Each structure stands twice: as structure tokens, then as C-alpha cells.
A and B are shown apart, each in its own frame.
Chain A
Amino acid sequence: MNSTAPAEGPGMKFFVAVWIGLMAIVGVEVFLTYRHLPPRELLVLLLALAFVEAGIALWYFMHLKFERAALVWSLVPAFIFVVFMMDHFWPDAFRMASMKLLER
């Protein structure tokens, strides 16, 4: 990671390669979808792949790689922190089902 002002990117050839990679990941996602895995596993796999894609897009397409480390260390942790906190919603989501008003 260079710490001077935005450097020149690696050029289009490289970006085309990245683009192909992204399309490939999307292909894998669709492939996994039709393996008929249990929803939970599928979700985990898809999310993992989505984050990889997002990372690549962030890193190369959005030129984050070519910014200062400080920017990366300010933006990414902030977002991850917020999403981590939002995970406190889940216990109540599961309560919704487990404590549903039953027509006993």
C-alpha cells in the first residue's frame, strides 16, 4: 500500500482480469444455489463469496488499494463495527418464531 497521493492504477488489462474473476464468482454462486444445500449453509457460502466480491470491487475498482492505509483503516472498520452491532437484532428475530402467538 503506497502512502503518497493516488498512484496510477495497473492499467485496463488487469481490470479486465478482475472483471472476469468477478463474473466467475457470480457463476459459482449460481452453481451453489442449485446444489440444493440447506439454506443456512447456502447463506454462509453466498455471503462469504459476496464479501470476497465486495472486497475485490472495493480494492481495485474503487481504487482503495491505491489510497493511503489510513483511509482504509478509517472506513472499513467503521462499517464492520456497525454491521457487527446490528447482529444484536438476531436473538429477537428468532424469538419472533419461537414465541409466536399460537392458536393452541
Chain B
Amino acid sequence: MEMAAGHHPIVMEKSPYGIPPGKLAMWCFVISDAVTFSAVLFAYGYLRVGSPDWIAPFQFFPTIVNGLVMTFVLLTSGLTMLAAVEAAKQGRTAAGTRWLWATCALGALFAVLHLLEWRRMLEEGWRLFQNPTGGSVHFGAAFFSVTGLHLLHVIGGVIALAIIAIGFARGKYNRIDVEITGIYWHFVDLVWMFVFPLVYLMNAK
């Protein structure tokens, strides 16, 4: 494997995983972030197990339906992300950029849907610390902190995607950068696959 330090080409030892540092670092980040999410989800489970007065307030409509739509949007954005990576691999920069923007848009849509749902719940009187229907106050705490943490990741991802899309179009970033972004974006997607059942479905009336 070749690399350039300063201006002289330097011969390197092979990477044991055969992937560049950026990708390796992203994989490590994914694992560490997965541990972070697990910790929060474990805290949620811990308190739920400890609260006999837990209530499951979610109606099929609007909450679960909305959740399904959000899931659909996020999974689709995963698909467009894959398309972007494929295009980048085949060197079709224009197509890749387009797919990146599509992913970015879907991510933004997901965030908007989520924020609208938050607003509705806040209007109904849900808070981090209170619970209009009575029962354990941990519901609000768990719901807003878990989904909030995920939402932060989505928003961060949307911003990253925008930056990468611009840079990729200008040739500032190469296909590996797109692939790395893809890993992150699919991870956000993957986390949602746990958040949706555990936070939404487990709390459906």
C-alpha cells in the first residue's frame, strides 16, 4: 500500500483489515456509539422494569402510523445512500451527488416528521418530567432522551451529507469518503431499528 508523507512516497505495512484509517475510525466510532445507545436503552429498560406503574400511551393513529412513515423514510434514505455509494464506486460523480442530496433530503424529512411529533406530544402535555396520563414519569424521560439522542445523530448526519455532497461534486472528497459517510448513515438507520420497536411499539396501547 502506498502513501505520501510530505512529498516522498513512503512504503507502509499492510493494514490488518485492509481498509484506510478513515473507514477504520468510522467503524470504531460506530461500535462506540452503539455502546452509547445501548447504555441509554439499558437505562430505559432498567427504569421500566423498576416501575410497576408504567403506562403504554401510544395510539395506533397518529403515533404508530407516523412512526411507520418515519421508518419508511429512513430506510428509503438508506437505499438512496447505497445508490450514492455505488455511483461513487463506478465514478459517476454527478449521479453520486444527486443520490447524496436525495439521502440528505430524506434525512431532513425524517427530522421534520420527528419534530412535528414532538410538538404534538408537547402540546398534549408530555415533558421530560411529566406525563399527562399519569403513571410513571420515566416515560417522557425515556422517550425524549432516546429519540432525542437519535434525532441529534440524524441532524448531524444530514449536515455531514450536505458537506460531503458539495465536496464530492467539487472533487474534494473521493468515493471512500462517500462510503464512510454511508457507514455512519446506515448506522443511524440501524439504531432506529431498535428505537422503533423498543420505544414505540413496546408503548403501543
Please determine if A and B sit in direct contact within the complex, based on CB atoms under 8 angstroms apart: yes
Interface size class of B (residues with CB under 8 A): 35 or more
The interface stretch among B44-52, B101-109, B125-133 is B44-52
Known: A5-B18, A29-B201, A33-B204. A86 touches B186 (CB 8 A): no
Known: A57-B193, A86-B38. A30 touches B49 (CB 8 A): no
Q: Residue on B with the closest CB to A74?
A: B17
A8 and B190 alpha carbons, distance in the complex (Å) = 22
A96 and B52 alpha carbons, distance in the complex (Å) = 10
Chain B interface mostly: helix
A102 within 8 A of B: no
A36 and B16 alpha carbons, distance in the complex (Å) = 49
The answer to whether A89 touches B50, judged by C-beta atoms less than 8 angstroms apart, is no
Q: Identify A62's interface contact among B38, B60, B183, B198, CB under 8 A.
A: B183
The answer to whether B64 touches A30, judged by C-beta atoms less than 8 angstroms apart, is yes
User: Which residues of A are found within 8 Å of B45, using beta-carbon distances?
Assistant: 93
Interface size class of A (residues with CB under 8 A): 35 or more
User: Which residues of B are found within 8 Å of A58, using beta-carbon distances?
Assistant: 190
Query: What mask results when residues 52 to 96 of chain B are scored 1 for a CB within 8 Å of chain A, else 0?
Result: 100000001000100010011001101101110110010000000
The answer to whether A96 touches B17, judged by C-beta atoms less than 8 angstroms apart, is no
Q: Identify B18's interface contact among A9, A47, A68, CB under 8 A.
A: A68
B42 to chain A, nearest CB (A): 5
User: Which residues of A are found within 8 Å of B50, using beta-carbon distances?
Assistant: 93-94, 96-97
User: Which residues of A are found within 8 Å of B118, using beta-carbon distances?
Assistant: none
A83 and B16 alpha carbons, distance in the complex (Å) = 26
Known: A19-B76, A57-B193. A86 touches B42 (CB 8 A): yes
Q: Residue on A with the closest CB to B27?
A: A75
User: Which residues of A are found within 8 Å of B198, using beta-carbon distances?
Assistant: 46-47, 50
Known: A23-B75, A97-B52. A61 touches B60 (CB 8 A): no
User: Which residues of B are found within 8 Å of A70, using beta-carbon distances?
Assistant: 16-17
Query: Please, could you name 29 A-B residue pairs with CB atoms under 8 Å apart, sorted by A?
Result: A9-B82, A9-B86, A11-B86, A15-B82, A15-B83, A22-B193, A23-B75, A26-B75, A29-B196, A30-B68, A39-B202, A47-B197, A49-B197, A57-B190, A61-B78, A61-B82, A61-B182, A61-B186, A62-B186, A63-B85, A63-B182, A71-B17, A75-B27, A79-B31, A86-B39, A92-B46, A93-B47, A96-B49, A97-B49
A residues within 8 Å of B by Cβ? Answer: 3-6, 8-9, 11-12, 15-16, 19, 22-23, 26, 29-30, 33-34, 39, 42-43, 46-47, 49-50, 53-54, 57-58, 61-63, 67-68, 70-71, 74-75, 78-79, 82-83, 86, 89-90, 92-94, 96-97
